[in-house]
DNA sequence: TCCTTCGGATGAACAGTGTTCAGAGTAAAG
DNA sequence: CTTTACTCTGAACACTGTTCATCCGAAGGA
């Protein structure tokens, strides 16, 4: 796609084109290149120099458009959730709506290698993402959650989603570094748990087959479901007080 | 405390001491120094060179005892949870036991600056931590959770705890970089949410006062409580199947 | 047409990073 | 007293993020 950068022959007057040959550098193009590098090299090797090389440009040129590497990461973070769709709140279907929200978020986090690592380094409330937080709160609010539960539920869900995705990418990294196939790593971890001394680790041994062997999709969904049930249990209750430890449902 | 490194005078024969003057470098001492640097400088400035300087030793000396920076981080990770106490499972009090477990974990993560960042870069099952995972599973298993729920609950809790602590340390970092007091930052964030256009962000505006203003302790506990209720709702139920979306309790 | 202006792009430089390696130094072993 | 084993040193390599004086080329004014 890139124009080969050949010198103009002396006999041919360079055309005075209004459109410059060099596509001008923009934030958009820089973020694009950053994603390319991220997917190819991974987070640890995502450097300003690599991004510049990807664009065929000097490193310092990037700093005209971007204050920091940190700012670049933030731009990537924002782009990942661009056009995120959160439905109109429907009190009847709030569970499915939240589940969809969570699945969509995870999908986007996994759509680029190591994206979760970038997300985790970012304070979760950037202006660009506020609309999505707002809509999630609308969905949860329509379900009838008490104020205080509502206030932390958004944070909670995103913490879980990000944490889960991060763990996934950590496993992927380990697999990339040491193994040839993901199944092989999974089997080995599986075996490892199963081979622990049963007298000291009865539970880990007993659960070895499903601790790792279950599909990540299933484990993710079940985790969200657990949170959903927890949230649902507050519907109709008054706001929990400062010592929110009791209140039955055992 | 450190011995001043004076040359031995020529008239005084150096005592043939069995105990060497230079305290020998060990993994323990390296980890100690790493913690000192971490607390003083933060994660971003925790470098092998800083650790070596803290010990008054060449950088390359560290690599005799530690394979990698990554291994050093893992050692710090393990040390943080050394001597963690998980009680004997008591089916009657499993909720409080899990809550204690979570609080203790958070406390340890906050006991050293940026510790959560290190934790998040580590695959959660190192051999040293398996006993604690095992005991947590014992507590949860005694409560009567179905197998599949039990298998992911440990992971879930640690994901939440780590994620929460990480977010706390991110805020602390932001506060350190820009503000003079934590209260001031909190008030500003508070104000920011309250000043959003109410027509576009009704929920965020309405919840502004408790989104940030609540104490972190309270928000943390409530989050754990939500997970506990979610888990509790599975007691007595059969194992959820692959499509675990339904099953009442709305 | 020339000249000036000015913002984007350059290359070199600075201070720092993780990691390696040949070679000192020292202590125990033979 | 020599040999061996092993910790530790200093220098080096290949990187990193970031800054800065310099240069180029297009736009606007005369």
Residue of A nearest to B245 (CA): A225
All residues at 6 or more sequence positions from A154 whose CB lies less than 8 Å from its CB, including other chains: A133, A136, A137, A140
Rg over alpha carbons for chain B, rounded to the nearest Å, is 24
Quick: pLDDT tens for A80-103: 999 888 889 999 999 999 999 999
- CA–CA gap between residue B105 and residue B98 (Å, rounded): 10
In a domain, A190, yes or no: yes
Chain B residues whose beta carbon lies within 8 Å of the beta carbon of residue A126: none
Question: What is residue A214's DSSP assignment?
Answer: S
Comparing CA positions, the residue from A94, A154, A95, A117 lying closest to residue A42 is A117
Percent of chain A at pLDDT exceeding 90: 66
Residue of B nearest to A217 (CA): B242
B244 within 8 A of B152, measured Cβ to Cβ:
no
Is the pLDDT at B19 greater than 50? The verdict is no
Given this model, what pLDDT does residue A14 score?
Answer: 42
To the nearest 10 degrees (0 to 180), the angle between helices B216-232 and A216-232 is 110
Residues A60 and A105 in one domain: no
Is the pLDDT at B171 greater than 70? The verdict is yes
Q: A9 CA, D13 C1': separation in Å? A: 41
Q: Which residue has the higher pLDDT, A159 or B172?
A: A159
Residues A152 and A76 in one domain: no
Residue of B nearest to A159 (CA): B163
Q: A57 CA, C6 C1': separation in Å? A: 21
Does residue A146 belong to the interface with chain B, where contact is any CB pair within 8 Å?
A: no
In angstroms, the Cα distances linking B105 to A244, B59, B157, B199, B220 are 19, 32, 10, 40, 12
As a whole number, mean pLDDT of residues A179-208 equals 89
Quick: pLDDT tens for B214-244: 789 999 999 999 999 999 999 999 988 765 4
Quick: pLDDT tens for B47-98: 999 999 999 999 999 999 999 999 999 999 999 999 888 889 999 999 999 9
Cβ separation A151–B123 shorter than 8 A: no
Question: For residue B140, what is the enclosing H or E element?
Answer: helix B130-142
Encoding tokens for residue A234? Answer: 């507050």
In a domain, A85, yes or no: no
Q: Is the CB of B60 under 7 A from strand D?
A: yes
- CA–CA gap between residue B119 and residue B169 (Å, rounded): 12
B97 within 8 A of B143, measured Cβ to Cβ:
no
Quick: pLDDT tens for B25-60: 899 999 999 999 999 999 999 999 999 999 999 999
Quick: pLDDT tens for A235-247: 999 988 765 444 4
Given this model, what pLDDT does residue A8 score?
Answer: 40
Encoding tokens for residue A50? Answer: 């690599």
Q: How far apart are the first and last CA of chain B?
A: 63
Residues B96 and B75 in one domain: no
Is the pLDDT at A232 greater than 90? The verdict is yes
A77 within 8 A of A119, measured Cβ to Cβ:
yes
Residues A37 and A95 in one domain: no
In a domain, A160, yes or no: yes
CATH of the domain at A125: 1.10.357.10
Encoding tokens for residue A72? Answer: 């670049």
Question: For residue B179, what is the enclosing H or E element?
Answer: none
Residues B33 and B108 in one domain: no
**What nucleotides of chain D have any atom within 7 angstroms of a protein Cβ?**
6-12, 15-21, 25-27
Is the pLDDT at A13 greater than 90? The verdict is no
Residues B143 and B60 in one domain: no
CATH of the domain at A49: 1.10.10.60
Segments forming the whole domain that contains residue A61? 27-80
Closest protein residue to D27 using CA and C1' atoms?
A18
Q: Which residue has the higher pLDDT, B14 or B28?
A: B28
Residues A75 and A116 in one domain: no
Distance from the B109 Cα atom to the nearest Cα atom in chain A, whole angstroms: 15
Q: Is the CB of A15 under 7 A from strand D?
A: no
All residues at 6 or more sequence positions from B99 whose CB lies less than 8 Å from its CB, including other chains: A245, B221, B224, B225, B228
Chain B residues whose beta carbon lies within 8 Å of the beta carbon of residue A235: 250
Structurally, chain B folds into a number of domains equal to 2
Residues B205 and B115 in one domain: yes
Task: Please compute, for residue A81, the number of CA atoms within 13 A of its CA located in the half-sphere on the CB side.
Answer: 26
- CA–CA gap between residue A143 and residue B99 (Å, rounded): 26
Question: For residue B155, what is the enclosing H or E element?
Answer: helix B147-178
Encoding tokens for residue B61? Answer: 């000396």
In a domain, A99, yes or no: yes
Place of tokens 């230079």: B22
In a domain, A106, yes or no: yes
Given this model, what pLDDT does residue B243 score?
Answer: 54
Alpha-helix runs per DSSP H in A66-146: 69-80, 94-110, 115-120, 130-142
Q: A37 CA, C21 C1': separation in Å? A: 32
As a whole number, mean pLDDT of residues B140-144 equals 95
Residues around strand C, C-beta < 7 Å: A 22, 24-25, 57-61, 64-65; B 18, 20, 45-50, 59-60, 63, 68-70
Selected residue of A151, A188, A208, A247 to mutate for chain B interface (largest B Cβ count, 10 A): A151
- The whole-chain average pLDDT of chain A stands at 86
All residues at 6 or more sequence positions from B114 whose CB lies less than 8 Å from its CB, including other chains: B38, B42, B43, B46, B169, B173
All residues at 6 or more sequence positions from B200 whose CB lies less than 8 Å from its CB, including other chains: A131, A134
- CA–CA gap between residue B143 and residue B125 (Å, rounded): 23
Is the pLDDT at B21 greater than 50? The verdict is no
Choosing from B80, B102, B119, the residue where a domain stops is B80
Residues B47 and B66 in one domain: yes
Residue of B nearest to A44 (CA): B121
Query: How many other CB atoms sit within 10 Å of the CB of residue B147?
Result: 14
Minimum-distance nucleotide, CA of A61 to C1': C9
For A186-189, which contacts have Cβ atoms below 8 Å and span 24 or more sequence positions? A186/A212, A186/A213, A189/B125
Distance from the B61 Cα atom to the nearest Cα atom in chain A, whole angstroms: 25
Comparing CA positions, the residue from B75, B66, B69 lying closest to residue B128 is B75
Given this model, what pLDDT does residue A2 score?
Answer: 36
Cβ separation B210–A95 shorter than 8 A: no
- CA–CA gap between residue B124 and residue A212 (Å, rounded): 13
- CA–CA gap between residue B167 and residue A69 (Å, rounded): 20
Residues A179 and A125 in one domain: yes
In a domain, B1, yes or no: no
As a whole number, mean pLDDT of residues A219-247 equals 85
Residues B52 and B98 in one domain: no
In a domain, B20, yes or no: no
A59 within 8 A of A52, measured Cβ to Cβ:
yes
B76 within 8 A of B31, measured Cβ to Cβ:
yes
In a domain, A76, yes or no: yes
Residues B40 and B149 in one domain: no
As a whole number, mean pLDDT of residues A146-151 equals 95
Sign of CA dihedral A207, A209, A211, A215: negative
Give CA B249 to chain center in angstroms: 33
Q: A73 CA, C4 C1': separation in Å? A: 39
Count residue pairs from A and B with Cβ separation < 8 A. Answer: 183
């Amino acid at each position: 796609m890139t124009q080969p950068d050949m010198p103009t022959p002396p006999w041919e007057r360079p055309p005075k084109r209004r459109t410059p040959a060099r596509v001008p550098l923009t934030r958009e193009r820089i973020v694009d290149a950053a994603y390319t590098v991220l997917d190819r090299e991974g987070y640890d090797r995502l450097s300003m120099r690599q991004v510049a090389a990807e664009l065929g440009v000097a490193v310092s040129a990037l700093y005209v458009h971007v204050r920091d590497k940190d700012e670049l990461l933030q731009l990537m973070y924002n782009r990942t959730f661009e056009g995120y769709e959160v439905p109109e709140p429907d009190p009847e279907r709030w569970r499915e709506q939240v589940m969809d929200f969570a699945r969509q978020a995870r999908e986007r986090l996994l759509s680029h290698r190591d994206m979760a690592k970038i997300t985790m380094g970012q304070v979760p409330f950037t202006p660009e993402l506020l609309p999505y937080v707002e809509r999630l709160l609308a969905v949860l609010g329509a379900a009838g959650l008490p104020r205080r539960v509502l206030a932390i539920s958004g944070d909670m869900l995103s913490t879980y989603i990000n944490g889960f995705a991060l763990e996934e990418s950590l496993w992927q990294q380990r697999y990339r570094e040491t193994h040839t196939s993901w199944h092989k790593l999974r089997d080995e971890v599986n075996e490892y748990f199963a081979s622990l001394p049963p007298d000291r680790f009865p539970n880990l041994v007993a659960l070895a087959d499903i601790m790792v062997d279950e599909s990540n999709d299933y484990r993710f969904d079940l985790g969200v479901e657990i949170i959903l049930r927890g949230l649902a249990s507050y519907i109709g209750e008054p706001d929990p007080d400062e010592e929110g430890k009791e209140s039955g449902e055992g």
